Structure 1
Amino acid sequence: MKNRFGIALSAIAAITLAGCAANSPSGPSATAKLEPTRGNVTAGTVNFVQAGDVVKVSGTISGLKPGAEHGFHVHEKGDCSSGDGMSTGGHFNPGGKPHGSHGVGEHHAGDLPSLKADASGKASFSFDSRTIRVGSTANDIVGKGLIVHRDPDDYKTQPTGNAGPRVACAVITAK
């Protein structure tokens, strides 16, 4: 009896682990280590994992204005050398689309959902994107810039969303 019980537990454990492995993304991945721009304190890490035609985006960013929304975009150049984030250029937009809301109608490939900071100024997030890619196609974000803005994105003002100054900058690198 004890032996059958042990074998059954082992089988259940193996099935559970196999199921977990099948559900965890295992495609190409990239990361961005956000550093504050001059005069700011915003920092964090963002991970990107390609899973079929979806990129799973997740991360935690701190040093944001508590309780506020902040624009969040992939920018065209992987260059944070200017100190104010402006060296990253404009939003990543290989398709020549108008600026808009992530996942709704036409928008830049680099238009991501705004970050929502909690009462302590921290934003933890996880979302899927069907417009960016990791490591392939014209929408590949590896080598591009990632920017957090001071203000919320209005999703209307062209071409930036009126999201204000850049408070954190990173270069997206392949893992």
Structure 2
Amino acid sequence: MKAIAIAAAIPFVMLGGCATQGASGPSSLPPAPAARADLAAGDGAARGTATVTEAADGLHVRVSASGLTPGIHAVHVHTIGDCTAPAFTSAGGHWNPTGKQHGRDNPQGMHMGDMPNMTVAGDGAGLLEYVIPGGLLATGAMPLLDADGAAVVVHAGPDDNVSDPAGNAGGRVACGVLKVG
């Protein structure tokens, strides 16, 4: 009788071992490198969040904004991780490690930090999702998060997608420093 009970228990012990192995064993992938920024206005009021996640095809950027003026706003990744209010000029220019001209429609190329415009609804909320092709977060020859970091900036107006160096997008109305984790 004991032999039958032990034989019946063996499959359950084996299944338990398999379930544990699958959850933490060699088949588990590490999380993708990611950074996050809390966006704020010049007066410190919260204006949403931005996340940047590294993937095989580049950097996936997601900006979820709130409390903005309805309309079209330029959104760019800037070269310096510093959002000193109220003008946020401390964030520097657009991330441009390849030395291109500004603008998604510029025939001479575009900055890696140039992204499409974001439409903000009547309630002040906007969402932008974009992939920066070939971008790397913190590794490689031209990482976004180099020694002085990076920031996501929302501008007062739309980007014309051609004018160098900044697309005539107007002042900087929200900014957030990207931080890993």
**Normalising TM by the smaller chain, what interval?**
0.7 to 0.9
RMSD: 2.7
- Contact 1:110–1:132 (Cα < 8 Å) also in 2: no
Range that drifts further, 84-93 or 121-130: 121-130
- Contact 2:38–2:46 (Cα < 8 Å) also in 1: no
The gaps in structure 1 that reach 5 residues or longer are: 1-13, 19-23
1:102-148 CA-partner distances (Å, limit 9, x unpaired): 8x971101111211112211012322221432112344222212110
Q: Provide closer, same or farther for how the CA distance between residues 53 and 160 of structure 1 changes in structure 2, counting only shifts above 3 A.
A: same
The gaps in structure 2 that reach 5 residues or longer are: 1-18, 24-28
- Contact 2:101–2:108 (Cα < 8 Å) also in 1: no
Matched to 2:176, the amino acid is A
Q: Which residue of 2 aligns with 1:150?
A: 156
Which of 81, 95, 99 aligns to 1:92? It is 95
CA displacement at 1:57 relative to structure 2 = 1.6
Q: How does 1:14-163 map to 2 (within 5 A)?
A: 26-38=31-43, 43-66=47-70, 68-101=71-104, 106-142=109-145, 143-163=149-169
The whole-number CA distance in structure 2 between the counterparts of 1:129 and 1:168 is 20
1:31 match: secondary structure: strand
CA displacement at 1:27 relative to structure 2 = 1.5
Range that drifts further, 160-169 or 123-132: 123-132
The whole-number CA distance in structure 2 between the counterparts of 1:26 and 1:89 is 30
- Contact 1:77–1:144 (Cα < 8 Å) also in 2: yes
Q: Provide closer, same or farther for how the CA distance between residues 44 and 25 of structure 1 changes in structure 2, counting only shifts above 3 A.
A: farther
Q: Which residue of 2 aligns with 1:21?
A: none
The whole-number CA distance in structure 1 between the counterparts of 2:39 and 2:142 is 21
- Contact 1:69–1:116 (Cα < 8 Å) also in 2: yes
**TM (normalized to structure 2)?**
0.74
Matched to 2:92, the amino acid is G
**For the pair shown, which has the larger CA radius of gyration, 1 or 2?**
2
